[in-house]
Chains A and B, each alone.
Chain A
């Protein structure tokens, strides 16, 4: 097998399964095959990725020769489709294909009730297309191709978040996800244009050359170099995809999609694409210290900002979503301070344990028919395997040694400490918050007594409606998001007490890397760091590996344990009342967190509806109607002509009138020509 063939196999297998579903299984009604086909395609892509890994390991500098095809050629513009395969590429390929395969298997059961239905095929078609696009993005050797697939993964996210489009909340969430990320994409697109105008290429490798960076550094506008503008634009796109402040608002809402979708797209892969892009372009960012500072600051701020909202969310998936935003912020922070290896090490670890956590949340929701943790509790007894898997992944997320999350988080903390005490402080507080919210989540979900699931939630919701009218019902709807995935199958009404193998096997597989992937890069053996430091990275960024600091590791572990201890006191031992905690300082901190710092309100109501919709747009629409139209109409001559014609002529004669005008023009033309 050649590298070229393997690359095509990676990208092509999910693409073929997409086409086979769209033109084969879906129209023919063989919906059950759609799931199997997709899983099989992922397996093929996985093996091909593994083959590519062996090739990269054997290659000098861990880089393979790029393969590229001309797609379009106009003037000096050449657009290409190509594969650039190095250690980063194969790492991402393995993450994407592994998680994707497990999610597809999990979905066969999770989405099983849909399988008599076309929508089961629709689900898998979108999943296949998503994976193909994600792999195409990762394999790309040029930024045009990245943008191409960047938009396509966004489309798949839109289609899958809106999978249950009959629900107004899902339809709205899908739209919001697309629009917010597209605002970031404007930056990305403009960055492409800046890069192309100054360097004449989209090829990533060529952009890293001296010629390109010199050209970009030489010119500038509005007080910044073209390079700074371009990198800022790229980061804007990345911030949209990776849900960084202030473009983070779409990700919590995106939990409206089926939970396996959240695990694959909104935890492990697509949201990591922003981090991937910034990391991939880091040799370029490297020349723009101002952009690097922005990346680090936004990342650090997002980490702590999102974690704080995770403290109060009552929906288990939303806790996870805030956690994801926060962890992506960590990775951005790492990239911003130049810790290339640490960022991707964390990306890798996070992909596995967060996918596990989401799938675990899915199993919990599958059983209780709700995602509202207020109506869970006691699930350890009925879902023991799920519980243990989720527990391990949670501790990994919290950064408890020797689990994987500990190692990468520690590296990021070290890099942050070296760069700025402020960034380090934010990162360290985030460790505390993270430990707190995961333990809170574990207690609310698995400990204590079962609080009745969806049935209890419906009762509570109905009671709220009766006692306090429509307002309360709306509030309930806003918070509860009760049955995201509740498909009313009778699966989980609280009495099915056994776990389904196909739902926990993927968890068991994912727990392996959640525990062990940290060992890829430890003080004892830093194989991953060596592997990721390709020839290109070495010559552009230099080797950037900090020595292990036992003091720092002890400090971060201590902070994490403190978070765990506090959460235990509140939710486990119940020595501290959660209500009292919420009522602290007049309840304001709690309310601010509950309302997500008012960001949704600011965007949706103040900016989108009021200023934009009812201000600017409505004004322009009126302007168009009463000014532009009226003036250009020649002060009503059109209305008069039409009105007059209507009054005096019958419709048959009206046609004659139109004919007369045309003939008139023709006659005038003819006479003018003949006369002169």
Chain B
């Protein structure tokens, strides 16, 4: 069932929830949590309702549930929302992780009202990015996400001397703004040359013929997304931001915020400039190969669990770029699927690590040992996420990586080999971490540790189930993704 103004409701419900929270009595943390949980659950429901509706009408038109209103007509700026096969899974993922992030934050007591309002605003920002079909609107939501992220890290992050939350938050902000400046320039050039910012309209225009400097605009916009994804060498903000962020923020950051980068590349760079992408694909593939290997190698050296996962994300998001560079249907679908699966896998890893940190008050791998004896459930969750991350069949990561590899090998054999070597590295750091943190005898100092309690288990169970469902029955997601990827792949094929 689809409601009238469904996308608008879905988009602004969390923001409206933030306003409601602002009006609540300041001291009642419990109420704030319950409201946040209710809002995010409702939002998840709204997102899930789109799924069957979309699969029923899929073939009819490219974008579904569109809402389009003129906003600044003189400039060609409009309020235009819509979802397709590419964005729908990411919208649902955002809804899911937004909901789980509230559960993960259940123990937050410090300025809880502000905390949960910011989480909700963040969710609106991310959803906006995935649903906007107007470039200006897209950009506004892209920026909207910055403020809550900045505040969440700098107020609820790891305080000194353990962390450097102000530094990390500022680094995050400056890196993203650096990218945004490029994107802004690119979008202004694009919009003022063509007279419209509407992404659907733009994709049907012969941009080069109109006089758009396509190569320049492609790279201006790409830089912003490359920072977000992140791509080597623009990645160093990520480990800092992750390490110092509170658990729920790490979950969202790795789970959906990075995907804004990959989504942007697919939705804007490739869709609008398939010809430029085609010419520059070898460069993108090289960057991808380097990100996978470099990220994987540096991960091996990490001692902090969160930094380890953060660097592994650099490596795994390299697969997204590799799939994008290959530009074929299988590879692009693999890239899109990798975004979804990495979202769930990494969210699970961060959720598990967050629980370990809450209980053991350290994330240093050399200090941990034998946790499986006291925390079998958390250990199980970590192992499942880890095995999924190292590409074990039956779990979601494998399908995505396999699609990317089969799609890219024909185009870029050498870079694909680099990507394939990444699976040995990921096995290395995951199993090494598992051995040192969870196995071996239980030291005295950890005898007091307790396993996850019910409310802490819910996010773990949901994410584990998602990993297996997608891993065993990938068609559930790929059949939807295909509908969004096919037109892009088709446009590229026409060039070749």
Measured CB to CB, the residues of A under 8 A from B are: 71-77, 144, 147-149, 151-152, 155, 158, 162, 165-168, 171-172, 174-175, 178-179, 182-183, 185-186, 189-190, 192-194, 196-197, 221, 613, 616-618, 620-621, 624, 628-629, 631-634, 637-639, 641-643, 645-646, 651, 654-655, 658-659, 661-662, 665-666, 668-669, 672-673, 676
Q: Is the CB of B435 within 8 A of A172?
A: yes
Q: Is the CB of B403 within 8 A of A77?
A: yes
Which one of A193, A651, A669 lies within 8 Å of B184 (CB-CB)?
A669
- Given A72-B399, A655-B151, 9 new contacts (CB under 8 A): A73-B475, A74-B403, A158-B431, A166-B373, A166-B441, A175-B431, A186-B421, A633-B171, A658-B146
Q: Is the CB of B420 within 8 A of A186?
A: yes
Shortest CB distance B348–A (Å): 17
Known: A166-B370, A673-B75, A673-B77. A632 touches B236 (CB 8 A): yes
Which B residues, 377 to 436, have Cβ-Cβ distances below 8 Å to chain A? Answer: 387, 392-394, 398-399, 402-403, 405-407, 409-410, 413, 416-417, 420-421, 423-424, 427-428, 431-432, 434-435
Bound form: Cα–Cα A166–B373 in Å: 8
Q: Is the CB of A182 within 8 A of B177?
A: no
The residues of B that contact A149 with a CB separation of less than 8 Å are 393
User: Which residue on chain A has the smallest CB distance to residue B235?
Assistant: A628
Q: Is the CB of B171 within 8 A of A638?
A: yes
Known: A75-B489, A655-B155, A658-B169. A628 touches B328 (CB 8 A): no
Q: Is the CB of A190 within 8 A of B330?
A: no
The residues of A that contact B236 with a CB separation of less than 8 Å are 624, 628-629, 632-633
The residues of B that contact A613 with a CB separation of less than 8 Å are 300
Q: Is the CB of B387 within 8 A of A179?
A: no
Q: Which of B166, B188, B478, B489 lies at the interface centre, i.e. has the most chain A CB atoms within 10 A of its CB?
A: B166
Q: Is the CB of B372 within 8 A of A669?
A: no
B154 at the interface (CB under 8 A from A): yes
User: Which residue on chain B has the smallest CB distance to residue A622?
Assistant: B301
Which B residues, 154 to 209, have Cβ-Cβ distances below 8 Å to chain A? Answer: 154-155, 164, 166-167, 169-171, 173-174, 177, 180, 184, 188, 192
Interface residues on B, range: 35 or more
Q: Is the CB of A642 within 8 A of B170?
A: yes
Q: Is the CB of B478 within 8 A of A162?
A: no
Which B residues, 433 to 492, have Cβ-Cβ distances below 8 Å to chain A? Answer: 434-435, 438-442, 474-475, 478, 482, 489
B117 at the interface (CB under 8 A from A): no
User: Which residue on chain B has the smallest CB distance to residue A159?
Assistant: B383
B294 at the interface (CB under 8 A from A): yes
> Please, could you name 19 A-B residue pairs with CB atoms under 8 Å apart, sorted by A?
A73-B475, A75-B489, A76-B329, A77-B403, A155-B392, A165-B438, A178-B431, A182-B423, A189-B405, A190-B417, A197-B409, A617-B298, A621-B302, A638-B167, A645-B166, A658-B146, A658-B154, A661-B173, A666-B140
The residues of A that contact B427 with a CB separation of less than 8 Å are 178-179, 182
Known: A76-B330, A186-B423, A662-B143. A618 touches B301 (CB 8 A): yes
B366 at the interface (CB under 8 A from A): no
Interface string of B296-337 (1 = CB under 8 A from A): 011011100000000000000000000000001110011000
Which one of A166, A189, A620, A672 lies within 8 Å of B420 (CB-CB)?
A189
Known: A152-B392, A186-B423, A193-B406. A651 touches B333 (CB 8 A): no
Q: Is the CB of A186 within 8 A of B330?
A: no
Bound form: Cα–Cα A76–B406 in Å: 10
Q: Is the CB of A168 within 8 A of B170?
A: no
The residues of B that contact A617 with a CB separation of less than 8 Å are 297-298, 300-301
Which one of B166, B333, B373 lies within 8 Å of A75 (CB-CB)?
B333
Bound form: Cα–Cα A620–B413 in Å: 24
Interface string of B210-223 (1 = CB under 8 A from A): 00000000000000
B350 at the interface (CB under 8 A from A): no
